Amino acid sequence: MKRSAALLAAVALAACTMIPDYERPAPPVPEAFPGAQEAGTPAAQLDWREFLADERLRAVVEQALAGNRDLRVATLNVERVGALLSIRRSELWPAIGVQGAGQRIQLPEKMTDSGEAEVVERYAVEVGFLSWEIDLFGRLRSLSASALEQYLATEEGERAARSALVAATASSWLRLAADVEALRLAEATLAAQADSLGMIRASRDAGVASDLELRQAESQVEAARVNRAEFAGAIAVDRHALELLMGGPLAPELEPEGIHALAGTAAIASGLPSEVLLARPDILAAEHRLRSANADIGAARAAFFPRISLTAALGTLSPDLSGLFHSGTRTWRVEPVVQTPIFAGGGLRANLRATKIEREIAVAVYEKAIQTAFAEVADGLALAATLAEQRLAQDALVFALEETLRLSEERYRAGIDGYLGVLVAQQALFRAQQSSVLLRFAERANRVRLYKALGGGA
Q: What is the pLDDT of residues 301-314, one digit of tens each?
A: 888 888 888 787 87
Nearest by Cα to 150 from 91, 92, 90, 87: 87
Q: How far is CA 304 from CA 9, 132, 141, 341, in A?
A: 22, 19, 15, 7
Q: Is 177 in contact with 258 (CB distance < 8 Å)?
A: yes
Q: pLDDT of the chain along its 458 residues, tens only?
A: 444 444 444 444 445 788 898 899 988 888 887 766 656 788 888 899 999 989 999 999 999 999 999 999 999 999 999 998 888 888 778 777 787 777 778 778 777 777 787 777 777 777 876 677 788 888 888 989 999 999 999 999 999 999 999 999 999 999 999 999 999 999 988 888 888 778 778 877 777 777 887 888 888 888 889 989 999 999 999 999 999 999 999 999 999 988 887 877 888 876 677 788 888 999 999 999 999 999 999 999 888 888 888 787 877 877 776 777 777 778 777 778 788 887 777 888 998 999 999 999 999 999 999 999 999 998 988 888 899 889 999 999 999 999 998 998 888 888 788 777 888 888 899 899 999 999 999 999 999 999 999 888 87
Torsion of CA 435, 441, 446, 447, to 10 degrees: 130
Q: Is the dihedral of CA 101, 107, 111, 116 positive or negative?
A: positive
Return the pLDDT at 35: 67
Spell out the domains of the chain, with CATH numbers in brackets: 2-92+135-305+340-453 (1.20.1600.10)
Phi, psi of 307 (to 5 degrees): -105, 130
Q: Is 303 in contact with 348 (CB distance < 8 Å)?
A: yes
Q: How many CB atoms lie within 10 A of CB 98?
A: 11
> How far is the C-alpha of 108 from the C-alpha of 41, rounded, in Å?
88
Return the pLDDT at 38: 57
Phi, psi of 36 (to 5 degrees): -75, 155
> How far is the C-alpha of 451 from the C-alpha of 381, rounded, in Å?
11
Q: Is 327 in contact with 16 (CB distance < 8 Å)?
A: no
Q: How far is CA 420 from CA 145, 155, 173, 290, 379, in A?
A: 77, 63, 39, 67, 42
| pLDDT tens profile 19-75 | 898 899 988 888 887 766 656 788 888 899 999 989 999 999 999 999 999 999 999
Q: Is 446 in contact with 384 (CB distance < 8 Å)?
A: yes
